[in-house]
Amino acid sequence: MNSNRASSGKSIFGLFLSNISLVTWIIIINFAVYLAEVTALLINPDYVNYFALNAGNILRGKYIWTLFTHMFSHVNFFHLFVNMFSLWFIGGFVEKIIGRKRFIWFYLIAGLFAGILSALLAGFFGFGIWAKIFGSPDIPMLGASGAIFGLVGLLAVLVPNARVYLIAGPLIAIIIGAIAGAFVSSPVFLGVIGFAVNLYIILSIVLMFSFNPKMRKIIVPIQMPFWILPIVAIVPLVIIGMFVFLPIGNVAHFGGLIAGLIYGTYLRIKYYKKVQMLRRMVR
């Protein structure tokens, strides 16, 4: 009788775990890695090399595993929250239309490709003025956005006219803070700007869950079709980044996007009728 109960309990537990989406598991892993990362950095800041992708290290054959770990690591809680918020909505949709198995493999490959491209371009070309475009080989890179842009690229091909919201407010605030840091020398004024930017970002996180349309306008939601989203999310930042330093990995975003466009094109050709049906359902 005891063995039967154990078997039954195990089956129920296994069923519960199998019903959790892969997107949820990825989000859980990201939060767990973030906690481990914060703990490790409190012990020794140099431990960042075990989490973040550094082009110089990769080209020297060191910390190769960071090509994988960087896509589960984040700079701070806001960085983590924004990426996981995006993954929850975009990733959940992608997982449903391409299936669990295809989703996890594509997500990991897109993130790896984004990391490899970032390491190569930053390592070989990230010097002088080119560092503003390709990144510096000495600046660590981390975040799930490369893999997430892979999902965006996939949807841009499969359902290009489906509508999506870009939460532009926090991004604009970060850009304003970066521009101020480049042109303002007063520590007091920079402190005030930094405080205002962080306060607005915290407010934005709260307002993302607001049911009041007028309050949500504060975070500047911009509706657009999926095919425009990657253009709006990458091109302006590349242009601005040529004049001021932005803590944004544009090469990783572009690398993930390329992976998504390629895989999306493959799926569109192989499953043409299903893709056409999907487009009629999702407008």
Could you tell me if 187 and 231 lie in one domain?
Answer: no
Could you tell me if 96 and 226 lie in one domain?
Answer: yes
- The number of domains in the chain is 2
- Tell me: pLDDT of 119 over 60: yes
CATH number of 159's domain: 1.20.1540.10
Could you tell me if 178 and 76 lie in one domain?
Answer: no
Could you tell me if 39 and 57 lie in one domain?
Answer: yes
- Tell me: pLDDT of 222 over 70: yes
Spatial separation of the C-alpha atoms in residues 265 and 275, rounded to whole Å:
10
State the pLDDT confidence band at 10, using cuts at 50, 70 and 90: low
* Least reliable range by pLDDT among 59-63, 82-86, 117-121, 172-176: 172-176
Eight-state DSSP code of residue 15: H
Spatial separation of the C-alpha atoms in residues 140 and 149, rounded to whole Å:
19
- Tell me: pLDDT of 1 over 50: no
Contact 117, 254 (CB under 8 A): yes
Beta bridge partners of 166: 222
Domain limits for position 191: 169-217
The pLDDT tens digits for 125-158 are 888 888 888 888 888 899 999 999 999 999 999 9
The pLDDT tens digits for 181-199 are 778 777 888 888 888 888 8
- CA angle 270/271/275 to nearest 5° reads 135
State the pLDDT confidence band at 14, using cuts at 50, 70 and 90: low
Mean pLDDT of the chain: 87
| pTM, two decimal places | 0.87
Could you tell me if 52 and 97 lie in one domain?
Answer: yes
**Residues near 67 by Cβ (< 8 Å), separated by ≥ 6?**
53, 58, 112, 115, 116, 119
